[in-house]
A and B are shown apart, each in its own frame.
Chain A
Amino acid sequence: MKKHKLLGILPPLLALLLGLILIIFLFPQEFWFKIIAILFLGIIICVIGYNLIQKNRLESLREQLMQVTLTLEEFDIDEPSAVKFKPSAYPVLNDLNANILELINRIRENYRAGKQFTQNASHELQTPLAVIKGQVELLIQSPNMGEKEMNYLVGILQNTNRLAKLNGALILLSKIDNRRFSDIEKINLRKTTEEIILNFKDLIKMKEIEIRWAEKSDWSLEMSEILSEILIGNLLQNAIRHNREENGFIEINCTAGLLSISNPGKPSNVPGEAYFKRFERNSDIEESLGLGLSIVRRICNQFDLIAIYDIKEELHTLSISKKV
């Protein structure tokens, strides 16, 4: 904007200047009039010169600010390389850069500490959990344990196991966030889905769930192999766990760019989006961890995929598609 304004002022100023020069030198005038005219001329030249200089300075300031913005845009908190700004002739800009650098360092420090804390906390929890589990297991073996005491012990054991699973899920989430999975290769999600179904075949048979394929074509994409298995595993586990008690089925639709898995379940008033929130869970089902879908979404985000939960009456559908 500034640039245009300056350019707008320049032509009239130049015209005025030309006019004055003509008046001063072509027409005979009084001495004092000439003095005033020359002074006036001087002022105009000064204004034009000042404007031109300012214009140049603003232009270079703008360029340098653009540089700062560009550097900030490229900033990646996970990238260890230091952010560098070119020294500038403007003290204000140097101050700004120094402040930004300080801010970045502080953010980095906090981020690193937070990351470290989550990792440490979940890892440190594993050993005490192992100790609790082992001690309860030993207690269960004691010969003079009554039925009531036994039931308490089993309760402790089951909850310890749940805690361990939850903790495991948190560790996984933090690993996904830290992009610790670098085993990127070409993955065919159709194949992965078939393999995971094979892993779950006991469970599927036990719950008498029918597997239906609406469409069964390849969808290949670049992705971490481990995470692709975790992703599909979570989707299928979800579809099995929340399936209808009788005449249950899972309908799978796999085409290039879209994979959806549907199962009949309880009709729900909760909007599909709410299912992704981390600790929201179906209170009817004790074993549900609620972290599963959160993991699904994190994995999707990392590979430019979108996960959508859709409920139409009884049919729950979770679909994954390419981000457009």
Chain B
Amino acid sequence: MKILIIEDEKDLQELMLRFLKREGYHCETAMTYKEGIKKTMNYEYDCLVVDLNLPDGDGLKIIRHFREDNTTSGVVVISARDSVEDRISGLDIGADDYLTKPFSLPELNARIKAVVRRKTGVFEKALVLGDISIKPDDRTVEIKGEKITLTKKEYDILLYLARNKNRIITKDSIAEYLWGDYMDNAVSFDFIYAHVKNLRKKLKDKNCGDYIRTVYGIGYKFLTP
């Protein structure tokens, strides 16, 4: 899977590059508007990660160009602009998702996966990890072939951890993923703890292997069996 990262901030670009490469994506980068336009015109990408504020042009224009002949590729916007109008105009022009800086890398990863899955249908097959099989399309989870009922939040946490498997995911990152800005951390951490506890219990009741590890004081990690 090929991703083009268009971001003028060198540090941030490198971070995304390293993180996404580790995920197994084939990544390329562009630093400027011109470079972005050139690359999108000459090569094929499955997903574009675009910063809107580029030194020599507007990222929105790149998306518009890109959309003219790429309808099945995903586009994720990352921007320091947080206004609702920007969000809406980004999505109107053809972006599939919008992340506001500062975002967390696992969240970017989860969003890219979701967008690509939605657009291409390539990853339509279930996410199978040991005894667990997650089908994001109809939001169902099976343990050893048997369906299991999870609450919405339990499902979201499981999917988020599974999509970022073998990585420590901080509680902050989960809180942000689940509730955006709506929650204050002190309360939501208790909440996440309760949800994860229930989730693990439900999995255990079905004799599922225990893949979710608590990293004390920090967060959780989904260990692939």
Is B41 in the interface zone, CB < 8 Å from A?
no
Pick the residue among B18, B100, B167, B172 that contacts A157 (CB under 8 A). Answer: B172
Given A154-B170, A207-B187, A287-B184, A131-B11 contact (CB < 8 Å): yes
Q: Which of A203-219 contact B (CB under 8 A)?
A: 203, 206-207
| CA–CA, A157 and B100, complex, Å | 17
Q: Chain A's nearest CB lies how many Å from the CB of B52?
A: 11
Is A268 in the interface zone, CB < 8 Å from B?
no
State the interface size on chain B (CB cutoff 8 A): 42
Interface size band for A: 35 or more
B168:A135 contact, CB within 8 angstroms: no
Contacts of B101 in A (CB 8 A): 126-127, 129-130
B168:A140 contact, CB within 8 angstroms: yes
Is A77 in the interface zone, CB < 8 Å from B?
no
| CA–CA, A288 and B18, complex, Å | 35
| CA–CA, A49 and B183, complex, Å | 80
B102:A129 contact, CB within 8 angstroms: yes
Per-residue B-contact encoding for A158-174, CB less than 8 Å = 1, 0 else:
10110011001001000
| CA–CA, A164 and B184, complex, Å | 13
Is A226 in the interface zone, CB < 8 Å from B?
yes
Q: Which residue of the partner chain A has the closest CB to B194?
A: A206
Q: What total of A-B pairs shows CB separation below 8 Å? A: 104
Pick the residue among B15, B83, B186, B218 that contacts A140 (CB under 8 A). Answer: B218
Is B106 in the interface zone, CB < 8 Å from A?
yes
B168:A141 contact, CB within 8 angstroms: yes
B9:A127 contact, CB within 8 angstroms: yes
Contacts of B190 in A (CB 8 A): 206
A165:B217 contact, CB within 8 angstroms: no
Q: Chain A's nearest CB lies how many Å from the CB of B152?
A: 10
Given A123-B80, A127-B12, A164-B102 contact (CB < 8 Å): yes
Is A134 in the interface zone, CB < 8 Å from B?
yes
Chain A residues with CB under 8 Å of chain B are 123-124, 126-127, 129-135, 137-138, 140-141, 147, 150-151, 154, 157-158, 160-161, 164-165, 168, 171, 175, 180, 199-200, 202-203, 206-207, 226, 233, 237, 241, 285-288
Of all A-B residue pairs in the complex, the 8 with the closest CB atoms, nearest first, are A130-B102, A126-B80, A134-B15, A129-B102, A126-B101, A130-B101, A131-B11, A287-B184
